């Protein structure tokens, strides 16, 4: 049974999410493995090398609860980005704009340490730090991507309008203007050499 049928979107329901690892015993997660992110990391050689050995690490997983795609409904769940790097670039989600660009989103960090990378179509961008107990507001119009800069899973709980939709196209073709890499033991933002390609 899929998540949409499991839950009563008309009369209400509850669902568990672990405070530390973010996982649910009831809902089923959607998983994204490294092989599904080809071209998204700056270092293609490091990316290919990681997959050569036959190992395809789980980079992140999240819950699609099956909220009705209507303006009055709310999509919510946890998103878990695992620790790791491709070359010196930290593991991250694909990131997306909302199809209805004018819809925001809230993320509350349950555990781990990382950043939310925000970028508007006009190129305004920022990094919002995420650590347990901090909530991040993703304003309407901004693409958003979670980046794990720690050694433990970065776990967030998110809520957004049910009809917002995901637009991956722009990020998949152009990328973000900046990446977050480890330099001298520190996480720093650097310009993305592949941007706009």
Ligand X SMILES: O=P(O)(O)OC[C@H]1O[C@H](O)[C@H](O)[C@@H](O)[C@@H]1O
Q: How many whole angstroms separate alpha carbon 89 and alpha carbon 190?
A: 10
| Window of 87-95, 114-122, 123-131, 185-193 that interacts with ligand X by CB under 6 A | 87-95
Q: How many whole angstroms separate alpha carbon 89 and alpha carbon 175?
A: 14
Q: Token pair for residue 144?
A: 């958003």
Range 97-126, binding Fe ion (CB under 5 A): 105
Which DSSP category does 187 fall into? Answer: E
Asked if 140 interacts with ligand X (CB under 6 A), we say no
Range 152-191, binding ligand X (CB under 6 A): 158, 166
162 binds, among ligand X, Fe ion, none (CB under 5 to 8 A by kind): none
What's phi and psi for 32, nearest 5 deg?
A: -120, 120
Q: How many whole angstroms separate alpha carbon 166 and alpha carbon 38?
A: 19
- Minimum Å gap between C-beta 66 and Fe ion is 16
Cβ(106)–Cβ(126) below 8 Å: no
Q: How many whole angstroms separate alpha carbon 68 and alpha carbon 3?
A: 12
Asked if 61 interacts with Fe ion (CB under 5 A), we say no
How many residues make contact with ligand X (CB under 6 A)? 8
Asked if 29 interacts with ligand X (CB under 6 A), we say no
- Minimum Å gap between C-beta 147 and ligand X is 11
Asked if 17 interacts with ligand X (CB under 6 A), we say no
Of 6, 85, 94, 177, the one binding ligand X by CB under 6 A: 94
């Amino acid at each position: 049974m899929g998540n949409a049928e499991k839950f009563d979107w008309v009369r209400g329901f509850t669902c568990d999410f672990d405070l530390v690892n973010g996982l649910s015993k009831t809902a089923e997660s959607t998983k994204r493995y490294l092989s599904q992110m080809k071209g998204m990391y700056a270092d293609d050689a490091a990316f290919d090398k990681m997959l050569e050995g036959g190992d395809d690490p789980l980079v992140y997983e999240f819950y699609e609860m099956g909220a009705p795609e209507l303006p009055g409904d709310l999509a919510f769940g946890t998103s878990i980005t695992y620790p790791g790097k491709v070359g010196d670039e930290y593991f991250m989600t694909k990131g997306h704009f909302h199809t209805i660009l004018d819809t925001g989103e809230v993320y509350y960090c349950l555990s781990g340490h990382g950043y939310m990378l925000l970028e508007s179509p006009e190129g305004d961008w920022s990094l919002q730090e995420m650590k347990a107990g901090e909530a991040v507001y993703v304003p309407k119009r901004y693409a958003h991507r979670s980046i794990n800069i720690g050694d433990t899973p970065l776990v967030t709980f998110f809520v957004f309008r049910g009809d917002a939709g995901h637009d991956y196209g722009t990020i998949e073709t152009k990328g973000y203007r900046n990446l977050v890499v480890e330099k001298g033991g520190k996480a720093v933002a650097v310009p993305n050499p592949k941007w706009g390609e």
